[in-house]
């Protein structure tokens, strides 16, 4: 059984503007980091999760907040790792070598 809960936010114009800006910057962060990693993948380069994480975290932490930037980047990391796990499970082998520090 699935349960849904609907919440309606009632905000003033200023708060709505700030929320829209936060949403736009969050989606921009996801798209930018995803594009850079996709380019690395298509060029058969190592996907440097740590390097791209640090680069985009430093760029966006002051704009959307450190915790929000961390969560978006972690979700993107999980999406790419899931892609590679599914690729390997389908018999595709190792798509590319993934570079991680540590």
pLDDT digit string (tens) for 13-30? 999 999 999 999 999 999
Alpha helices per DSSP H over the chain: 13-42, 49-64, 66-87
pLDDT for 102: 40
Instruction: Name the residue with tokens 């309606």.
Output: 8
Q: Would 40 be classed as within a structural domain? A: yes
8 burial (CB, 10 Å; 0-12 / 13-18 / 19+) is exposed
Q: Would 4 be classed as within a structural domain? A: no
pLDDT for 51: 95
Residues of the chain under the 70 pLDDT cut: 92-102
pLDDT for 92: 63
Q: Report the number of distinct structural domains present in the chain.
A: 1
pLDDT for 10: 87
pLDDT for 3: 86
Instruction: Name the residue with tokens 């907040």.
Output: 65
Q: Would 6 be classed as within a structural domain? A: no
**2, 20, 24, 3: which is closest to 12 by C-alpha?**
20
Torsion angle defined by CA atoms of residues 47, 50, 69 and 61, in that order, rounded to the nearest 10 degrees: -120
Q: Would 1 be classed as within a structural domain? A: no
Q: Would 11 be classed as within a structural domain? A: no
Domain extent, residue 84, equals 17-99
């Amino acid at each position: 059984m699935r349960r849904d809960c609907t919440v309606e936010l009632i905000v003033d114009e200023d708060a709505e503007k700030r929320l829209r800006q936060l949403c736009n910057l969050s989606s921009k962060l996801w798209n930018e980091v995803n594009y850079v990693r996709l380019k690395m993948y298509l060029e058969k380069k190592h996907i440097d999760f740590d390097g791209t994480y640090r680069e985009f975290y430093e760029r966006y932490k002051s704009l959307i907040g450190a915790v929000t930037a961390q969560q978006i980047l972690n979700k993107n990391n999980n999406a790419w790792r899931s892609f590679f796990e599914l690729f390997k499970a389908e018999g595709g082998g190792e798509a590319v070598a993934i570079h991680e520090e540590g």
